[in-house]
Amino acid sequence: MLVCRIHAVLSFAMVSVLIMQTAQAQDFGGRTDRGVISDAAVDESSGLCVSHRNSRVLWTHNDSGDKARIFAMNDSARVLGIYYLRGAANRDWEDMCSARIHDTAWIYVGEIGDNNAAYETKTIYCVAEPSVSASQGEVSDTLSVARSISFAYPDGKRDAECLMIDAQTEDLYVISKREDSVHVYRLPYPQRTDSLCAIELVAILPYTFITAGDISPDGSEILIKNYTTVYHFHREAGESIAQCLLRTPIQEPYEMEPQGEAIAFDPDGSGYYTTSENSAAKIPAHLYFYPRLNGSSAQTTKEEATLSLDSLRVDQEARVLDVYVHAKLATELTLQIVDMNGRSMLSTPHMAYNDGGQHIQLPLRSLRSGSYALRLLARNVMQTKLFQFSR
């Protein structure tokens, strides 16, 4: 077993692993930039969904503290309208989803954020989608909330940033954010509106910091993401959402964005969109698109199947991060540490590694408290694990 020691200026503690590795080929290609979101009022894009009524239209909303409003934009990131929701309040909106149900296009907005786990009750607002043209000038209008769905978790107060709907069953799903292993909850249809709606814990997943998700219109695919990674699940016939999410996912392409918290399938299945909040460095929010690859399928690739980033361990006394990489064939790889804005904090040389298990040790020093990601980069492979630490 080979141990490589690489000197750097880092300091980590309390590591939690984000992902399970996958030996499946990616179904989507690299990102294309659809443009900067044109209205500066969209400064904390925290949720994203596509229109099921209007061609080439998407919807987004800001994070906590904004007015109770949603924004329509086209697929070139030009804002088409600001729509205020009568009967709603924005304490901490974190995600939105959409579906066509019984010939009506609906938008659901999740008042589900709770950074300090202080609120017993969370609410999802449901509005009928208005008619919007992808070429119209920016308008301002008011929509009435058709339904308010309130609930309390069965196992304590939680922060969440992921709201999804299965259009096939009309069930709503919420995934919590901050646990080392996040919780998946189901609000079964029909959801009550005259009292607290029943919500049930249906799965616990080995991921953390989940910030968004979406279910494809036909229910056959699911995307969930955190700040560093997009996970893609293929759903088998007769399989529940919970059963599907317990599968090993495909890790799809994703370039980190400043506080990237939103994702949505294109309604025709041709790809997925992401967007983010503006960064502290005043980098404006972009709309990005990741196209589906022609003829893509879940096929095993030789290098992905033989290379894995298996584990991370922090030695607090020695201030060393121990990374365990396993390769069945000789290969070349780089390890890179990035912050949540995608800035590189450390990058090892592109080095050859022999087959077998290998420990790579990184000395840990002056990094600020926060969340960071360790990336393994090799030909056609990028695997990621997220770290949290406090000094």
CB 32, CB 108: distance < 8 Å = no
Dihedral, CA atoms, 150, 151, 157, 163, nearest 10 degrees?
-80
Look at residue 116 and tell me whether its pLDDT is greater than 70: yes
Q: What element of type H or E holds 242? A: helix 241-245
For the chain, the C-alpha Rg in angstroms (whole number) is: 21
CA 237, 243, 249, 254 torsion-angle sign: positive
* Average pLDDT in the chain: 84
Write out the two tokens for 214.
């979406």
pLDDT, tens digit, for every residue of 52-62? 999 999 999 99
Q: Spell out a b/e string for 140-161, using b for 16 or more CB atoms within 10 Å of the CB, else e.
A: eeebebeeebbbebeeeebbbb
- Band (pLDDT 50/70/90 cuts) for residue 2 is very low
CB 95, CB 110: distance < 8 Å = yes
Look at residue 8 and tell me whether its pLDDT is greater than 50: no
- Band (pLDDT 50/70/90 cuts) for residue 237 is confident
CB 351, CB 50: distance < 8 Å = no
Q: What element of type H or E holds 303? A: helix 302-306
Could you give the percent of the chain with pLDDT greater than 70? Answer: 82
Name the more confident of 76 and 360. 76
Name the more confident of 115 and 351. 115
Determine the 3-state secondary structure of 305 from DSSP. Answer: helix
The predicted pLDDT at position 371 comes to 75
Q: Comparing 79-88, 128-137, 380-389, which segment has the lowest mean pLDDT? A: 380-389
**CA gap 261, 341 in Å, rounded:** 12
The predicted pLDDT at position 24 comes to 61
pLDDT, tens digit, for every residue of 141-184? 999 999 999 999 999 999 999 999 999 899 999 999 999 999 99
CB 90, CB 68: distance < 8 Å = yes
Region 342-371: mean pLDDT is 72
46, 68, 203, 299, 310 from 110: Cα distances, Å: 10, 11, 20, 35, 35
Write out the two tokens for 332.
């070349």
Beta bridge partners of 269: none
Look at residue 83 and tell me whether its pLDDT is greater than 80: yes
Look at residue 296 and tell me whether its pLDDT is greater than 80: no
The predicted pLDDT at position 280 comes to 60
Q: What element of type H or E holds 97? A: strand 95-101
CB 102, CB 160: distance < 8 Å = no
CA distance between the termini of the chain = 31
- Band (pLDDT 50/70/90 cuts) for residue 121 is very high
The predicted pLDDT at position 279 comes to 57
The predicted pLDDT at position 310 comes to 76
The predicted pLDDT at position 344 comes to 66
The predicted pLDDT at position 285 comes to 85
Give residues with Cβ within 8 angstroms of 122, minimum separation 6: 110, 111, 112, 114, 150, 151, 152, 153, 160, 174
**CA gap 223, 228 in Å, rounded:** 13
**CA gap 335, 330 in Å, rounded:** 16
The predicted pLDDT at position 21 comes to 38
Write out the two tokens for 69.
């409003």
Give residues with Cβ within 8 angstroms of 308, minimum separation 6: 21, 325, 326, 327, 383
Name the more confident of 285 and 223. 223
**CA gap 204, 246 in Å, rounded:** 8
Look at residue 10 and tell me whether its pLDDT is greater than 80: no
Look at residue 380 and tell me whether its pLDDT is greater than 80: no
The predicted pLDDT at position 356 comes to 75
Region 226-250: mean pLDDT is 93
